[in-house]
Amino acid sequence: MIAILLAGGLGSRLYPSTKKISKQLLPVFDKPMIYYPLTTLMFAGVRKIFIVVTPSSIEDYKTLLNDGSQWGLEFEFIIQEKPSGIADSFNLIPSEYTDEPCIMILGDNLFYGSGLGRGLKQSFTGQGALIYAHEVANPNDYGVVVFDSDNKPVKILEKPDYHISNFAIPGLYWFDNHCYEYAKKISPSKRGELEITDILNEYLSAGELKVNILPRGTAWLDTGTAQNLLAASNFVSVIEERQGLKIGCPEEVAFREEFISKSEFAQVVAKLPAGNYREYLEKL
């Protein structure tokens, strides 16, 4: 199993904040945005992660994340020359990995909920595709899934112009290795992009798409606009202050998931600059 973390794109909805910095490097409260989807992948148990970035931002990501070994991970950075769509990332994965299933996450999506880590590990069988659905007040801003009377998915639409479903599709997907051949079959949309909804509809047509509705109490935040970025920062701030636990902390997740040993964890923490972040980790 490999993972694909999407950190490319122009971040135009956050301009001018993204004029000189990649969107996923902006802070969500006390950590870079990319830490949150990264730790979601870690909770899913994946160690090999392909990080899709723009040509201008790759060195910034390497400076922030290194090669991943400090957290028991292996990062490989892949350049997407232009924003060609989420599904285009499948075409960028080296051929020696395209016989493996994968989990994909958008770099501006934040997930939080009790038992989410255990649930991720137990979700995917390795066959077909699995996505999630989350009931929202503004479904037309997202890709949506339409269910029949038996709660089976019957249609996937990308940002429909009319109301057809309250269930948006969060940016977290599981695929078997057919995703790579499907990505070569589909054509660019009117936006000039390879749409992930077209991949999902390939699985749906084959009867191989499963949809899990995220339970109430699970938070899904899209941090791609200024208002949503502020809301996500406030959310993280409130949770961390009340619980005394951090969200999206890769050092802690690596330690608790046993990706690194206690001594390796201590070495990582010792290299961090003095401050609240290091103090929190030292108390673990």
Summarised one tens digit per residue, pLDDT across range 157-194 is 988 888 889 999 999 999 999 999 999 999 999 888 99
Q: Please determine, for residue 116, whether its predicted confidence score (pLDDT) is greater than 90.
A: no
pLDDT value for 3: 98
Instruction: Give yes or no for a contact between 38 and 63, defined as CB atoms under 8 angstroms apart.
Output: no
What ranges in 1-133 are assigned the alpha helix state H? Answer: 35-43, 58-65, 116-123
**127 token code pair:** 């066959």
Q: For 117-130, write each residue's pLDDT tens digit.
A: 667 877 898 899 99
CA contacts within 13 A on the Cβ side of 127: 4
Reported as a single tens digit per residue, the pLDDT across 1-49 is 999 999 998 888 999 999 999 999 999 999 999 999 999 999 999 999 9
Q: Domain total for the chain?
A: 1
83, 9 Cβ separation under 8 angstroms: yes
Query: In this predicted structure, what is the pLDDT of residue 115?
Result: 66
- 211 domain residue, yes or no: yes
**Is 243 part of a structural domain of the chain?**
yes
For 89-103, 124-138, 261-275, which range has the lowest pLDDT when averaged over its residues? 124-138
The predicted-structure confidence for 82-103, as pLDDT tens digits, reads as follows: 889 999 999 999 999 999 999 9
Counting other chains too, the contacts that 213-217 makes at CB distance below 8 Å and 24 or more residues apart are 213/132, 213/133, 213/134, 213/135, 213/151, 213/167, 214/113, 214/132, 214/133, 214/134, 214/170, 215/113, 217/113, 217/114
Residue 190's pLDDT is 87
Long-range contacts of 204-209 (CB under 8 A, 24+ apart): 204/153, 204/154, 204/155, 204/156, 206/128, 208/127, 208/128, 208/129, 208/176, 208/178, 209/128, 209/129, 209/130, 209/131, 209/153, 209/156
pLDDT at 102: 97
In a domain, 8, yes or no: yes
User: Is there a domain that residue 239 lies in?
Assistant: yes
- Domain-located, residue 254: no
Mean pLDDT of 136-149: 88
Q: What is the pLDDT of residue 9?
A: 85
Q: Is residue 273 part of a domain?
A: no
The whole-number pLDDT of residue 235 equals 97
CATH of the domain at 183: 3.90.550.10
Give the mean model confidence (pLDDT) for residues 249-259. Answer: 97
CA gap 157, 168 in Å, rounded: 10
| pTM of the predicted structure, to 2 decimals | 0.95
79 assigned to some structural domain: yes
Q: Is residue 87 part of a domain?
A: yes
| Distance, CA of 114 to CA of 193 (rounded, Å) | 35
What residue numbers bound the domain in which 169 lies? 2-248
